[in-house]
Amino acid sequence: AMDPAHRKSAVFGHMIAPLEDYERRETKLLEPQIEEIKLKREIIEKRVDALKKAAAKEAGPTGRAKIQSEILELTTELTALFLPRLPRMITADCTPEKLSNLLCMHSGRMATLDPEGGLFELMSGRYSESGPNLEVYLKAHAGDTLRVDRMGRPSEFVPNPALTIAIPPQLMVIAGLSMKPGFRGRGLLGRFLYSI
């Protein structure tokens, strides 16, 4: 942490540049493969739809059974066409709910790297009316299994999550942390290494 005008953002940008370069390179390598898989999946899905319509019109049980068998084969082929995820190692302006989702999507590993202290506002519930949501941060620090089951979104299960947080905030951000609800009492503040 340091006072304003000490070039924190410039230094921070140099620090995370290799990670951002890696994400860009890997994305560029994967994009053609992803587009090919998407096209194959789309073709199979359209074929399955056409076969379902044909099965509905088919009068004889033998004809329906043959079509159903072909649908099952295509469905198996569709399942095998796994769509790789674009690599993500870093996030910044990310709600706790989205962070839990990113951890789930990326093998339980993520880094919140931001040259400002906005993360603490997100932790304390900037976009939430229900107050602080610290679970993902506490569990990812301790490596405790993260299980999220909420209405309106798929369940998430992350065994042994690991979250790296690096923030060079202004001194006033650090000074105000102990006044944020739940930060001290739940042990959040004791999980950081501070340097001023």
pLDDT, position 84 = 87
CA 9: distance to chain centroid? 24
Average pLDDT over residues 29-42: 94
Prediction pTM value:
0.77
To the nearest whole percent, how much of the chain has pLDDT over 70? 97
Taking only the tens place, the pLDDT of each residue in 167-195 is 888 888 888 888 887 888 888 888 999 88
Least confident of 11-15, 29-33, 148-152, 163-167: 148-152
Asked whether the predicted pLDDT for residue 142 surpasses 80, the reply is yes
Taking only the tens place, the pLDDT of each residue in 118-132 is 888 888 877 666 667
| DSSP state for residue 129 in the 8-state scheme | S
Asked whether the predicted pLDDT for residue 4 surpasses 90, the reply is no
| DSSP state for residue 2 in the 8-state scheme | -
| φ/ψ bin of 187: left (φ > 0), alpha (ψ from -120 to 50), beta (otherwise) | left
Banded model confidence at residue 33, pLDDT cuts 50, 70, 90:
very high
Banded model confidence at residue 161, pLDDT cuts 50, 70, 90:
very high
Which tokens hold the place of 96? 């706790």
Helices (H) and strands (E) in the chain, counts: 6, 5
